[in-house]
Amino acid sequence: MKVFIIDDNKDFCTTIADIVQSFGFDTDTMQNPNEAMSYLDRYNHSIGLILLDIEFGTGVDKNGLDVLEYCRRNFPAIPVVMISGKGSIETAVRATKLGAINFIEKSIISIDKIKEVLDSAMARLGAQGEAKEIQKFLELNGIFGRSNMLLDIGDSIIRFGRTDLNVMITGETGTGKKLIAKAIHSVSRRAKYPFVTVDIPNIPKELFQSELFGHNKGSFSGALDNKKGLFHQAHKGTLFLDEIGDMTLDLQANLFIPIEEKLVRRVGSIHTEDVDIRFISATDKDLLFAMKESKFREQLYHRLRECEIYIPPLRERNEDIPEIVDYYLSVHNREFDDAKFFSPSAVDFMQEQPWPGNVRELASAVRVSLQTSHKDEIEIADLHKIISNSGKTEAAIVTTDNLISAGRTLKEDLAQLDKKKIEATLERCHGNVSKSAAQLGISRETLHNKIRKYVIDVQTYRAKAKARK
């Protein structure tokens, strides 16, 4: 781990650096806040901890709190410890609010104190503190949730991102693979350079070479000017190969040299050009199966998959759903100056859905329900109209056999019909009360009351569903 020490006193920096190095850590030092921020822009991927002075001398327009705020906004995964020769409670409180993990005065700094700070920072990175930092980092990149699965993904993004290895992102459609790719780019040494997307399914086969490699004027009919390809555009940055599994076998071999040797040759040229590119690819296809079927080249697979990040489907991490919903809710209320919200039962209902389209489908359902509802509170019935068509077709027909009896009153007959309808719906929904309530067009509380009234055993339907699996 590298410790970055920022203080306007060069002798102090050297002394602290010597102590930190004695514990086995690398160090870098800097005396100017502006230069320190520029350094962070370039080398943040290699820094594990920042020791930052608060007060800087005259001639600079920023202080340590400005640098701290810049770090928290742009590099939230890096812990910052503030150091001050003029400590005050107000300054310590402000530093803590801005995200500093510790605040120490120069007057009490010693070898033991520095070791304590380093140990504390390491413990933070290895435990709960790391999870909070990862969650902040993910949110800054438009990725929301609290599940351990998502935090593991965040950890992988940061670790892989700080390398120059090629990363393959796998998962079902709609899980957010492009957001993950952009997050990897954001923590890499290439973050200040382009992030270029190759939308493979939408590039006509006959234009593939020209789009990626560029072409020289006159190299084919319609080549009226020299053109730089996507490889050139991504120079020093990241090239994102989206839906790599859709690339035809004959085109795949074209990627070997650019990936392996970092060389490209334009269509119509005899000269090669150097490119400095990091490759990130994504697919919802099973490439191992595709290789067995001779539909994907093994050489390309291993070149692109030096690291892999798998994104589980939303149905396997439904604890992320409330955070995702909250994000799109806040976006809607801000854009439309609304004060809408989802009822607790509506959020529970969303957590119980399979979401075959994953986050993309959930986001769409949330946006549509918010923009089409005339009420401030969005309930299950509002959502059901949007996300489920299953209620339109009865999978089980409730007949009137044995439901009408001369020995019963009309009220009793209607109660019998009511009970049968509820039982049929619970059967169809595998004992899912929220979903059943939505299909029946009543609230979950009303359905629970009816279940108690008619002494219906919901567990029976859930057990049947498990047995069928």
Mean pLDDT for the stretch of residues 94-105? 78
Residue 289, pLDDT > 60, answer yes
Amino acid at residue number 187: V
Instruction: Specify the range with the lowest mean pLDDT, choosing from 37-51, 109-123, 349-363, 444-458.
Output: 109-123
For residue 62, which phi and psi values (nearest 5 degrees)?
A: -135, 155
| Percentage above 70 pLDDT, the chain | 91
Extents of the domains making up the chain = 2-126, 143-311, 316-387, 410-468
Count of H-run helices and E-run strands, the chain: 22, 14
CATH, domain 2-126, list 3.40.50.2300, 3.40.50.1580, 3.40.50.850, 3.20.20.70? 3.40.50.2300
Specify whether the CB–CB gap between 239 and 185 falls below 8 A.
Answer: no
CATH architecture of 316-387: Orthogonal Bundle (1.10)
Q: What is the pLDDT of residue 295?
A: 93
- Cα–Cα distances in angstroms (integers) from residue 146 to residues 134, 138, 151, 153, 462, in the given order: 10, 10, 7, 11, 27
The contacts of residue 319 (CB under 8 Å, 6+ apart) are: 145, 146, 147, 351
Please check whether the domain covering 410-468 is classified as CATH 1.10.10: yes
Residue 443, pLDDT > 70, answer yes
Q: What is the pLDDT of residue 260?
A: 92
Prediction pTM value = 0.59
Tokens of 288: 């191992």
Tokens of 83: 């150091």
Q: What is the pLDDT of residue 126?
A: 55
Nearest to 363 by CA among 338, 312, 327, 315: 327
pLDDT (tens digit per residue) in 316-327 = 899 999 999 999
| Percentage above 90 pLDDT, the chain | 41
Answer with the residue of higher pLDDT: 50 or 91. 50
325-174-200 Cα angle (round to 5): 145
Specify whether the CB–CB gap between 76 and 47 falls below 8 A.
Answer: no
Nearest to 244 by CA among 203, 274, 209, 294: 203
Going through 300-351 in order, the beta strands assigned E by DSSP cover 307-311, 341-342
pLDDT (tens digit per residue) in 385-412 = 787 543 333 333 334 445 555 566 767 7
DSSP string, 119-158: HHHHHHHHSHHHHHHHHHHHHHTT-----HHHHHHHHHHH
Confidence of residue 185 (pLDDT cuts 50, 70, 90): very high
Amino acid at residue number 147: S
Phi-psi region of 181 (alpha: psi -120 to 50; beta: other; left: phi over 0): alpha
pLDDT (tens digit per residue) in 305-347 = 999 999 999 998 999 999 999 999 999 999 999 999 999 889 9
DSSP string, 287-313: HHHHHHTTSS-HHHHHHH-SEEEEE--
What is the CATH class of 143-311? alpha beta
Answer with the residue of higher pLDDT: 63 or 131. 63
Instruction: Specify the range with the lowest mean pLDDT, choosing from 269-278, 419-428, 460-469.
Output: 460-469
pLDDT (tens digit per residue) in 258-286 = 999 999 988 888 888 999 999 999 999 99
Q: How many CB atoms lie within 10 A of CB 131?
A: 15
Residue 210, pLDDT > 90, answer no
Fold match, 2-126 / 143-311: yes
Mean pLDDT for the stretch of residues 444-451? 84
Tokens of 173: 């459609």
Mean pLDDT for the stretch of residues 206-231? 83
Please give the mean pLDDT across all residues of the chain: 85
pLDDT (tens digit per residue) in 39-67 = 988 888 778 889 998 888 777 788 888 89
